[in-house]
Structure 1
Amino acid sequence: MSDEPHDPTGLDLASEIARAAVESAAYGVVLPDPAPQRQPRRPRRPMEQQRSGAHPDDRDPQLVGDVLDSVIKQRGWQRRISLSTLLRRWPELVGEANAEHSTPVDYTDGVLIVDCDSTAWASAMRYSASQLVARLNRSLGDRTVLRVDFRGPKPPSWKRGPRSVGGRGPRDTYG
């Protein structure tokens, strides 16, 4: 063991090797090749596999869009991409005025839930729900959206706040 400190980067060793190589080249010393390079052997294939037909197959270059479509289908990302498209294009799909007063909030099993600013907007948009479903399916893919539910604002809760009553509450006033 030597008393010299260990160089974790290995720069000292690399510079020593480089210096030795330069000196050996200057004196005409030829260092042996550490490992002879062998050419890799190509596997032999039957002639039928090497021929290319007149029609496209898997070995031909593929279009980027086709490759992305196959990856999306394999990974099951179609629904997520459709939803992000829906959220991004919501004003275009329902119109600017409707988009200002409505927001898609949930999509589960083909049912799109949309929250509206008021019950009047929710009622007005319910009249055009079938046309909206058809338009969404045209732009997102067939049978992506089966139904659209429009909800108005949530009513106030009487369980908390200044008008809350402890115990059973005001049940006796209704009957």
Structure 2
Amino acid sequence: MPDDERPVDEPEEQHRDDGLDLARAMTRASARSTPAQRARKRSKNWTPSQPPSRKPVTGAHPDDRDPQLLDTTVGRLVEDHGWDVDLRVHGVFGRWPELVGAEVAAHSTPESFAEGRLVVRTDSTAWATQLKLLAPTVVRRLNEELGHGTVTVIDVQGPRGPSWRKGPRSVRDGRGPRDTYG
């Protein structure tokens, strides 16, 4: 019996913690209305002379509503968001030993890429100097893989210095433990 036809003296259902009363009420309300009535309520400017808007049916030919291959869908997502260059660059990060050689890759690691600048960290200053000398060759090789002009400069950085920050308390801009240096 709908809520508006319930006799006055009949008590209303008590609220239940599991939410079944709310689900029943929503089911009753949606059963009383048709899909067309619900669409009219959603559309503010709807007039009876206007048919509901629907996409044209294309027939037996494939279209975007058909199931798509994952490769096609991911490719469209990458293209729509402009992630193409980023994915190629990170692919280069994964193939770093193949691109620069095993010996150079054993002593260097690409860290980041932004706006044509590739940051490479080496494990010693000698390898930083060596990689700076090889930078034009590496840039040429990377641009062959990624497309002309993708990598414009390689920023070679040596090993990180020791951190004097040990423990929960430290002094900002401190000079470190000076008592260990003669």
Give the TM-score band, short-chain normalised: 0.5 to 0.7
Report the CA distance between 1:3 and its aligned residue.
10
Report the CA distance between 1:162 and its aligned residue.
2.3
Q: Distance in 1 between matches of 2:128 and 2:120?
A: 9
Report the CA distance between 1:5 and its aligned residue.
7.9
Aligned equivalent of 2:157: 151
Report the CA distance between 1:70 and its aligned residue.
4.0
Q: Distance in 2 between matches of 1:128 and 1:63?
A: 42
AA aligned opposite 1:146: T
Aligned equivalent of 2:148: 142
TM-score (norm 1): 0.53
AA aligned opposite 2:84: Q
Report the CA distance between 1:62 and its aligned residue.
8.5
Q: Distance in 1 between matches of 2:161 and 2:152?
A: 27
Contact persistence 2:135–2:154 (CA under 8 A):
yes
Q: Distance in 2 between matches of 1:120 and 1:131?
A: 18
Give yes or no for the alignment of 1:123 onto 2:129.
yes
Contact persistence 2:85–2:146 (CA under 8 A):
no
TM-score (norm 2): 0.52
1:6 and 1:83, CA in 2 relative to 1: closer, same or farther beyond 3 A?
A: same
Structure 2: runs of 5+ lacking an equivalent: 1-9, 25-53, 164-172
1:3 and 1:153, CA in 2 relative to 1: closer, same or farther beyond 3 A?
A: closer
Structure 1: runs of 5+ lacking an equivalent: 14-42, 165-175
Q: Distance in 2 between matches of 1:63 and 1:141?
A: 27
Q: Find 2:87's aligned residue among 68, 81, 86.
A: 81
Number of aligned residues: 135
CA RMSD of aligned residues (A): 4.6
1:130 and 1:5, CA in 2 relative to 1: closer, same or farther beyond 3 A?
A: same
AA aligned opposite 1:73: E
Aligned equivalent of 1:72: 78
Report the CA distance between 1:4 and its aligned residue.
9.0
Aligned equivalent of 2:138: 132
Report the CA distance between 1:111 and its aligned residue.
0.6
Larger Rg: 1
Report the CA distance between 1:63 and its aligned residue.
7.8
**Percent same amino acid at aligned positions?**
39
Give yes or no for the alignment of 1:162 onto 2:163.
no
1:9 and 1:94, CA in 2 relative to 1: closer, same or farther beyond 3 A?
A: same
